[in-house]
Chains A and B, each alone.
Chain A
Amino acid sequence: MSASVGGPELTIAVPRGALLRDTLDLLDAVGVETAEVRANDRKLLFGDVGIVTMRPSDVPTYVEAGAADVGITGKDVLTEQDEREVAELLDLGYGPCRMILATVAGEPDPAAEALRRLGVMRVATKYSRIATRYFEATGRQAIVDLTATGTTLRENGLVIREEIMVSTARLIANPVAHKLKSAAIDTLVARMREQRPAAPVTA
């Protein structure tokens, strides 16, 4: 785990990509300096302020290993990696997106037709475990992906057929840091809770 001698009390894993801007705004609002992160999009480690940036899907790995004390990532990532030993502390409310099942446009659903006549269908997804669990429960198959606005799907001739889950950004913590740095983490949670949009969408 991180040494805190003279440095910041907590190391925070920050997701690059769609959640980055809102995450940096939140960190600014709770008193973590993010100017250097905003100014330099190649650098990954910002030791002075205790920030490490990474892909959202790497955040649970870093936090579980204790390389970061806390981290922010989407509920979609946490659900896909549900074996990770991390504590999920707060629904931050931002970064809303829906994990959906999409198939090519047409009525009746051409994919459903293929399944009815051929008995099999291929599924394109990087969320293989969420998709597998969903299909085991429903028997349906197609494309599983995230969507915030639906524009990309429309432009590619795909139609949303079902919604699998709703995702928002979550604050997570390493279970050991959660106990050994409880005061610092509780303070961070309380400050972030104050910044949270009203009535968050949660699963």
Chain B
Amino acid sequence: MIHPIPNGTRDVLPDEMRELRAITEAMRAVFERREYGEVWTPTIEFEDVLRRGETGVDPAYRVFDDHGHVMALRPDMTVPIARVVATRYATAQPPLRFSYFAHAYRGVRPHRGQMREFLQAGIELVGAPGPDGTVEALTVLCEALDAVGLRGYRIALGSASLYPALMDTYDVPQDVRETLLAALAARDFVKLENQVQRHRLDDALVRVPQLRGGPEVLDAITGGEAGGLRAILADLPDAVSSRVVFDLGLARGLGYYTGAVFDVLDPELGEPLGGGGRYDDLLARFGRPLPAVGFALHVDRLHLALAGEERQA
């Protein structure tokens, strides 16, 4: 008999589980050594609490409780941890360090091979502003990936505030901004170019977000964003900075990012293994205004990339 399970979910059997467990245990050791205390939060939260994060990723699965309250499965762990910080650590002295291994849920289209339920491993560093906090998060990220045994990975580093600042510099009309940002988020550089030409805007709005490569790409921009990225690079240990590829068009899907953002890439996989960035405004929405940075890795994708590297070896 066949008893189906929901699209985008799957069973993990012992052979695979052993390998996933080896990955998470290696990362857990790094997080513990770095004093990122592990937390659990409820899989299901009140929807209005999750929406307070204004992440741009709305909860996909909702249920009503006995009192008619709407509850939802968490789409990530950053918002629940922001809630924990504001409620359980309301007076604690920052910086605060948390780690987690937790399933999250999103309403993706499963035919693309993406899962609706997926295991994330990550950290949140609360109360540590950039660049120092960002440097620490990137360092812990690389230590975790090294501990897992991944060899070929790269960190694509950009800034969520770079393109908005560029639009300020070139006086992009308010009504055109959303169109340009949407084209950039969709990586539709043809549309970006057409819109910039149609509105007779500066060519830099097309050129700059397509700059990828070493620190030399920062020479193409001026102002605070370039300075911010240079400050991060200057303080990174060599083992981390050698992994960095700058991407001045990097736009991550979640709406709460404010500054440096990054994706973890591996030549063995056609999609990012995870990523993160600064979210300096999110905690204020929960009543505890503190700068913060964090990252989340998809454990399944990490596993796929490791298996790919093994085949290459």
Contact surface of A with B, Cβ cutoff 8 Å? 1, 3, 64-67, 82-91, 170, 174-180, 182-183, 186, 202-203
Assuming A182-B212, A186-B210, what are 16 further A-B pairs, CB within 8 angstroms? A65-B270, A83-B112, A88-B189, A88-B190, A89-B190, A90-B189, A90-B190, A175-B187, A175-B270, A176-B269, A176-B270, A176-B272, A178-B187, A179-B156, A180-B267, A182-B213
Which of B210, B263, B270 has a CB less than 8 Å from the CB of A66?
Answer: B270
Q: How far is the CB of B93 from chain A (nearest CB, A)?
A: 39
Is the Cβ of A1 less than 8 Å from the Cβ of B190? no
**Please, how many angstroms separate the alpha-carbon atoms of A64 and B186 in the complex?**
13
Contacts of A1 in B (CB 8 A): 267-270
Q: Tell me if B113 counts as interface (CB < 8 A to partner A).
A: yes
Is the Cβ of B154 less than 8 Å from the Cβ of A86? no
Q: Tell me if B109 counts as interface (CB < 8 A to partner A).
A: yes
Q: How far is the CB of A109 from chain B (nearest CB, A)?
A: 32
A3 touching B213 in the complex, CB below 8 Å, given contacts A176-B265, A176-B269, A179-B265: no
Complex interface bits, B203-221 against A, C-beta within 8 A gives 1, otherwise 0 = 0000000101100000000
How many A-B Cβ pairs are below 8 Å? 72
**Please, how many angstroms separate the alpha-carbon atoms of A82 and B112 in the complex?**
12
Which of A66, A84, A174, A179 has a CB less than 8 Å from the CB of B245?
Answer: A179
Q: How far is the CB of A85 from chain B (nearest CB, A)?
A: 7
Q: Tell me if B271 counts as interface (CB < 8 A to partner A).
A: yes
Q: Tell me if B188 counts as interface (CB < 8 A to partner A).
A: yes
Is the Cβ of A88 less than 8 Å from the Cβ of B191? yes
Is the Cβ of A88 less than 8 Å from the Cβ of B269? no
Contact surface of B with A, Cβ cutoff 8 Å? 109, 112-113, 154, 156, 186-191, 194, 210, 212-213, 245, 247, 263, 265-272, 312
**Please, how many angstroms separate the alpha-carbon atoms of A88 and B191 in the complex?**
8
Q: How far is the CB of A122 from chain B (nearest CB, A)?
A: 25
Q: How far is the CB of B242 from chain A (nearest CB, A)?
A: 14
Main secondary structure of the interface of B (DSSP, over half): mixed
Contacts of B189 in A (CB 8 A): 87-90
Main secondary structure of the interface of A (DSSP, over half): mixed
Can you list 18 A-B contacts with CB-CB less than 8 angstroms, sorted by A residue number? A1-B268, A64-B271, A65-B113, A66-B271, A85-B187, A87-B188, A88-B187, A88-B188, A88-B189, A88-B191, A91-B190, A175-B270, A176-B272, A178-B212, A179-B212, A179-B247, A179-B263, A180-B265
Contacts of B272 in A (CB 8 A): 175-176
Is the Cβ of A83 less than 8 Å from the Cβ of B213? no
> Which 4 residue pairs are nearest across A and B when measured between Cβ atoms?
A66-B270, A87-B187, A182-B212, A88-B188
Contacts of A86 in B (CB 8 A): 187
Contacts of B312 in A (CB 8 A): 3
Contacts of A176 in B (CB 8 A): 265-267, 269-272
Contacts of B186 in A (CB 8 A): 82, 88
Is the Cβ of A179 less than 8 Å from the Cβ of B154? yes
Is the Cβ of B269 less than 8 Å from the Cβ of A66? yes
**Please, how many angstroms separate the alpha-carbon atoms of A176 and B153 in the complex?**
11
